[in-house]
Amino acid sequence: MTRSIIPFGPQHPVLPEPLHLKLTVEDETVVEAIPALGYVHRGLEGLAQRRDYHQMIYVVERVCGICSCIHAMCYCNAIEKLMGLEVPRRAKYLRVIWSELHRVHSHLLWLGLFADAFGFESLFMNLWKIRERVMDINEATAGNRVIVSTNIIGGVRRDISEDWLKQILKDITEIEQQLKPMFDVMTNDYTIKKRTVGKGVLSKELCHQLGAAGPTLRGSGWAQDVRQLKYEAFDELDFEPVVEYDGDCYSRNKVRFRETFQSLEIVRQAINRIPSGELAVKPKGNPDGEIAFRVEQPRGELFYYVKCNGGKNPERVRIRTPTFANIPPLLAMLPGAQLADVPVLALSIDPCISCTER
Partner 1 sequence: MKFDLQKWINEGRLKSPWVVHFNCGSCNGCDIEILDCLTPVHDVERFGIINVGNPKQADVLLVSGTVNHRNKTALKNIYDQMQHPKAVIAIGSCGLSGGIFYDAYNVVGGVDKVIPVDVYVPGCPPKPEQIIDAVLVALGKLKASLEKSDEAPGQETAPAAGEQPAA
Asked if 147 is part of the footprint of partner 1 (rule: CB under 8 A), the reply reads: yes
Asked if 16 is part of the footprint of ligand SF4 (rule: CB under 6 A), the reply reads: no
CB 51 within 8 A of CB 80: no
Q: State how far the Cα of 246 lies from the Cα of 70, in Å rounded to an integer.
A: 29
Single out the residue of 65, 119, 275, 310 in contact with ligand SF4 (rule: CB under 6 A): 65
Task: Quickly count: other Cβ atoms within 10 Å of residue 135's Cβ.
Answer: 17
Single out the residue of 8, 17, 76, 308 in contact with partner 1 (rule: CB under 8 A): 17
Question: Nearest distance from residue 80's CB to ligand SF4, in Å?
Answer: 24
Chain position whose Cβ is nearest to ligand SF4: 62
Asked if 18 is part of the footprint of partner 1 (rule: CB under 8 A), the reply reads: yes
The site partner of 38 among partner 1, ligand SF4, none (C-beta below 5 to 8 Å per kind) is: partner 1
Q: State how far the Cα of 207 lies from the Cα of 200, in Å rounded to an integer.
A: 12
The torsion angle over the Cα atoms of residues 212, 216, 219 and 220, rounded to 10 degrees, is -30
Name residues contacting ligand SF4, limited to 132-151 (CB under 6 A).
Answer: 147
Q: State how far the Cα of 51 lies from the Cα of 211, in Å rounded to an integer.
A: 32
Name residues contacting partner 1, limited to 59-88 (CB under 8 A).
Answer: 59, 62-66, 68
Closest CA to 192 of 104, 262, 257: 257
Asked if 352 is part of the footprint of partner 1 (rule: CB under 8 A), the reply reads: yes
Output DSSP code: residue 84.
T
The site partner of 354 among partner 1, ligand SF4, none (C-beta below 5 to 8 Å per kind) is: partner 1
Alpha carbon of residue 158 to chain centroid: 23
Single out the residue of 62, 157, 316, 320 in contact with ligand SF4 (rule: CB under 6 A): 62
Chain residues binding ligand SF4 by CB under 6 A are 62, 65, 147
